[in-house]
Amino acid sequence: MPFASALLLSAASGLASENKPDTLNLNELVVTAPLKTNPDLIPMNVTQISSSQIEKSGETSLLPVLVAKVPGLFVTERGFAGYGVSGGSAGEVNIRGVGQGNKVLFMIDGQPQWAGVFGHSLADTYVANGIEKVEVVKGPSSLLYGSNAMGGSVNLVTHTQRTDGLTGRARAMFGSFYTQNFALSTGYKKGRFSATLSGQVDRSNGSRARSAFWLANEFLQLKYAASDRWSIAGMLDMTQTRANNPGTLQDPLENMWTDVFRGTGGLYVKNSYEKMDGGIQGYINWGRNNVDDGNTPGTAPKDYLFHSTDYNMGFTAYESFYLWKANILSAGIDFQHWGGHIWNTSKADESVRSAESSHHVNEIAGYVMMQQGFFNDILNINGGVRLQHGSTYGNVWVPQAGFIIKPGHDAQIKASFSKGFRAPNIRELYLYAPANPDLKPEYMLNYELSYRQFFLSSRLMVGAALFYIDGRNMIQTVRIDGRPKNVNTGKFHNKGFEIEAGYAILRNLNANASWSYLYTNSDNLYSPKNKLNAEITYSPGNFSFTLDEMSIWSMKNGNPDGSRESYTLLNLRAAYTLGERVPVTLSVKVDNITNSKYEIIYGCPMPGTTIMGGVEFRF
């Protein structure tokens, strides 16, 4: 939920940190600061998913973890392993029904991750190994991050070594469909210098014929604290994937595959003083895609391959000032240069090229935010504005405002208004028949109200939130004079609520649940009208057991008859840890215990009951 989820869980985690065994921990979700500002400065909230939650899930991809832990968030899947790119791909993330067309921004350590040509994120690159926490903002994040954060943002925060010496963990898992997952992560620290290194390899035959998947990921981060006030860090993250797509049951494909390389590099310098803190960050995200569009059974294979290279680079400078009591002023400047190159090559002669095109876009923005507290912080008022200029679309103003009321120690009320936008991508502007270079950004106005309350010495938490979203200028393809053209004509209205509760029943027994409801007047696919998540965790001694359930009701999945998909999944996780100096953990996870039959994407049946088991060593 927009505010209750993050703020309630913040309080819960804060109490847990005081080592009170009977305190509600609620899955260890807490509020943390976005990269650019203190969380108290903005009315939007950040929900954190911790590394222990990610590890207990047994998932190698982060997206299933987000679906299970974040109310109102949903991700498309087409099979057991891999999301793919190009036609028929999955991994589309939406928050409160907003997400199609890359309206949710993914970042790694604050660096935006999306392909410079088509503007979409690369779902297979968001691996779980080496991730310390995930910060999810539900609602527009465009004030801080600009375009593509229209519906929200997801920041993957990588692991930082905090203790001197060498530590690490190695994991191997095996299971259904000849699936193998291997991961290694290490960290080293000496004095002011620290380094982390991780790698991951996944492979699977997939749950359907011709759906094999392979992935490799490598990550390196170096940090140095030059003084108590200044620090510098650099990182490099690379992912290679090979995904096969069998098409749908109604329109099967042969020889359809995608070969993707994705890289991210960054360098930042941070400062921290009594009256100010901030930093400057430079980054580059680049990729190379090779695609065979495949053929229908009984027809000849395509005689060409599609290729693309793209880039997304820039820098951001930001600083927060603590000028007087209960006041925070934050300001920043962003610059981004993105684009890419596409072409086809003949399979018979790779030197023969066709359909070649290359374009780029520049964006520059400045923003300022302020918070002021009153009456000993019983009331806090927040406000900010961003002005962004794009070389293809001109100026965009992004306002945001809100307030926080704390009527008591265990209660909080929050309200906000915010604007989010998405600039047109290069495909929509320049490529293929519907292209229109005069497109303007899509935008939405978001209104939220939330309340939360703790009871029973903070062992019980309940919260509720309401939201209303007004979307305008949506880019749609229409026929003008008999020809298709992209135009800013679409509108939508989304509204709904989210309810969440958690209860620390015993020292080692916790339960929590959330229910999100969405009404939309649009024909959005993959936006459940109702989504229910429930989980109970029991940890006696060295054992740990988690039983979780997810129910989806009334979701459009692309069925041409207009019917909606509904299903329930029941999953079990169990683990046992032995050893002290070198802990070894044996684990097993069973998904879809009841063998439910369902299709998230029409024509792509999801697997029934699946089993994965493994071992992990820590040193």
pLDDT single digits (tens) 121-171: 889 999 999 899 998 989 999 999 999 999 999 999 999 898 999 999 999
Band of pLDDT at residue 23, cut at 50, 70 and 90: very low
Q: pLDDT tens digit string along 441-485?
A: 999 999 999 998 999 999 999 999 999 999 999 999 999 989 999
Do 12 and 27 touch, CB atoms closer than 8 A?
no
The pLDDT score that the predictor gives to residue 9 is 34
3-state class (DSSP) for residue 563: coil
518, burial (CB in 10 Å: exposed 0-12, middle 13-18, buried 19+)? buried
pLDDT at 41 over 80: no
pLDDT grade for 88, boundaries at 50, 70 and 90: confident
Specify the amino acid at residue 567: Y
d(CA 136, CA 134): 6
Q: How far is CA 6 from CA 10, 23, 135, 612, in A?
A: 6, 17, 10, 31
Look up residue 525 and give its two tokens: 């696919």
Question: Would you state the pLDDT for residue 46?
Answer: 66
User: In which band, very low, low, confident or very high, does the pLDDT at 5 lie, cut at 50, 70 and 90?
Assistant: very low
- Comparing CA positions, the residue from 600, 535, 517 lying closest to residue 566 is 600
Residue 592 bridge partners (DSSP):
none
Burial of 608 per CB tally in 10 Å (0-12, 13-18, 19+): middle
Residues in Cβ contact with 580 at an 8 Å cutoff, skipping those fewer than 6 apart: none
Measured CA to CA, the distance from residue 62 to residue 67 in angstroms comes to: 9
| 4-618 carries CATH number 3.90.1150.10 | no
Q: What amino acid is encoded at 187 in this protein?
A: G
Token couple for 609: 């009951």
d(CA 517, CA 207): 31
Residue 29 confidence (pLDDT) above 50: no
Q: What is the pLDDT of residue 425?
A: 95
Length of the chain (residues): 619
Closest CA to 243 of 194, 202, 198: 202
Q: What is the pLDDT of residues 271-283, one digit of tens each?
A: 999 999 999 999 9
More reliable by pLDDT, 490 or 44: 490
pLDDT in tens, 574-613: 999 998 777 999 999 999 999 999 999 999 999 999 999 9
CA dist., res. 519 & res. 499, Å (int): 15
Supply angle C-alpha 105, 513, 572, rounded to 5: 90
Structure tokens at 550: 């997810």
Is the per-residue pLDDT at 18 higher than 70? Answer: no
Phi, psi of 526 (to 5 degrees): 60, 35
What tokens were used for 250?
A: 């109604």
- Mean of pLDDT values over 350-355: 93
Among residues 188, 137, 138, 143, which one has the least CA distance to residue 162? 188
Alpha-carbon distance 119 to 299, whole Å?
32
First to last CA, the chain: 38
The residues near 456 (Cβ < 8 Å, ≥ 6 apart) are none
Runs of H (alpha helix) within 386-524: 426-430
Q: Read off the pLDDT of residues 525-575 as tens digits, 9 standing for 90 and up.
A: 999 999 999 999 999 999 999 999 999 999 999 999 999 999 999 999 999
Res. 15 pLDDT band, cuts 50 70 90: very low
pLDDT, position 37: 67
pLDDT tens digit sequence for 389-418: 999 999 999 999 999 899 988 998 999 999
Residue 33 confidence (pLDDT): 39
Spatial distance between the Cα atoms of 55 and 71, rounded to a whole number of angstroms: 20
Contacts with 17 (C-beta within 8 Å, 6 or more apart), sequence order: none
Q: Which amino acid is located at 223 in the chain?
A: K
Please check whether residue 90 is in contact with residue 84, taking contact to mean a CB–CB distance below 8 angstroms.
Answer: yes
Mean pLDDT in the chain? 90
Angstrom CA distances, 71 to 341, 455, 471, stand at 38, 22, 21
The set of residues, in sequence order, having a beta carbon less than 8 Å from that of 13 and lying 6+ positions away, is: 25, 26, 28, 29, 30, 31
Q: What 3-state class would DSSP assign to 567?
A: strand
CA distance linking residue 555 with residue 209, whole number of Å: 26
pLDDT recorded at residue 11? 33
d(CA 343, CA 353): 7
Closest to 465 in 3D by CA, of 520, 518, 522: 518
Match 């879809």 to its residue by tokens. 592
Distance CA 120, CA 112 (A): 11
Structure tokens at 428: 């929509």
Residue 374 CA to chain centroid, in angstroms? Answer: 35
Q: What is the mean pLDDT of residues 499-515?
A: 95
Instruction: Enter the pTM of the model.
Output: 0.91
Q: Which residues pair with 389 in a beta bridge?
A: 364, 395
